[in-house]
């Protein structure tokens, strides 16, 4: 048996296992960046900011879904982010029961400080790799990003 399923059946196998194993170092390095950047803000708040930048503006329900939480929790999170000036709430005129969420300028600036820390962590590892491996990694990640986008579109 080489397949399993959660919703639709998907192929699996040794390759997926190996990739999952080898990807962990990159993921850990990435996630670690927020521990360095100052001022320290709670992980959930960082996650919301990143989501808003990565996926763009959205309403509260969409944020909750992509965040992996329920609207109630997301609303509370936004209370704090709005209070500290990192996120804006805005009620669109054409549908007054939605709340449009977006990053403020300060929210973007804060994310960029995480980016800086992350690029330095990445650079310290990349400089120990061969030029060939670096190129392979970038090419592989590029196609992965494209494929991930397609997979999201297909399931939407």
Out of a second copy, DNA, none, what residue 125 binds, judged by CB under 5 to 8 A for its kind, is a second copy
User: At a CB cut-off of 8 Å and minimum separation 6, what does 132 contact?
Assistant: none
What are the structure tokens assigned to 63, written together?
Answer: 């944020």
Least distance to DNA, CB of residue 116, Å:
20
Out of a second copy, DNA, none, what residue 109 binds, judged by CB under 5 to 8 A for its kind, is none
Contact between 72 and DNA by CB under 7 A: the answer reads: yes
Total number of residues binding DNA (CB under 7 A)?
29
The interface region with DNA, picked from 11-19, 20-28, 41-49, 146-154 by CB under 7 A, is 41-49
CB atoms within 10 A of CB 54: 9
- The site map against a second copy for 116-135 (x = CB under 8 A) is xxxxx-xxxxxxxxx--xxx
Among 1, 5, 94, 97, binds a second copy (CB under 8 A): 5
Q: Tell me how far apart the alpha carbons of residues 136 and 22 are, in angstroms, rounded to a whole number.
A: 14
> What residues between 44 and 63 interact with DNA by CB under 7 A?
44-45, 59-62
> What residues between 6 and 35 interact with a second copy by CB under 8 A?
6, 10-12, 15-20, 22-32, 34-35
Task: Read off φ and ψ for residue 42, nearest 5 degrees.
Answer: -55, 145
Task: Read off φ and ψ for residue 48, nearest 5 degrees.
Answer: -65, -45
Task: Read off φ and ψ for residue 22, nearest 5 degrees.
Answer: -75, -20
Out of DNA, a second copy, none, what residue 113 binds, judged by CB under 5 to 8 A for its kind, is none
Q: What's the distance, Cα to Cα, between the start and end of the chain in Å?
A: 29
């Amino acid at each position: 048996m080489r397949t399993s399923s959660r919703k639709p059946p998907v192929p699996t196998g040794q390759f997926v296992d190996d990739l999952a194993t080898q990807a962990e170092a990159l993921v850990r390095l990435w996630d670690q960046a927020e521990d360095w950047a100052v001022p320290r803000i709670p992980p959930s708040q960082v996650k919301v900011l990143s989501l808003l930048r990565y996926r763009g503006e959205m309403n509260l329900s969409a944020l909750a879904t992509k965040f992996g939480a329920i609207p109630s929790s997301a609303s509370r999170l936004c209370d704090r982010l709005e209070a500290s000036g990192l996120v804006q709430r805005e009620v669109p005129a054409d549908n007054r029961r939605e709340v449009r969420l977006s990053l403020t300028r300060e929210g973007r600036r804060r994310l960029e400080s995480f980016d800086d820390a992350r690029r330095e962590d990445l650079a310290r590892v990349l400089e120990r790799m061969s030029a060939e491996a670096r190129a392979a990694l970038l090419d592989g990640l590029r196609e992965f990003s494209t494929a991930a986008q397609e997979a999201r579109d297909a399931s939407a």
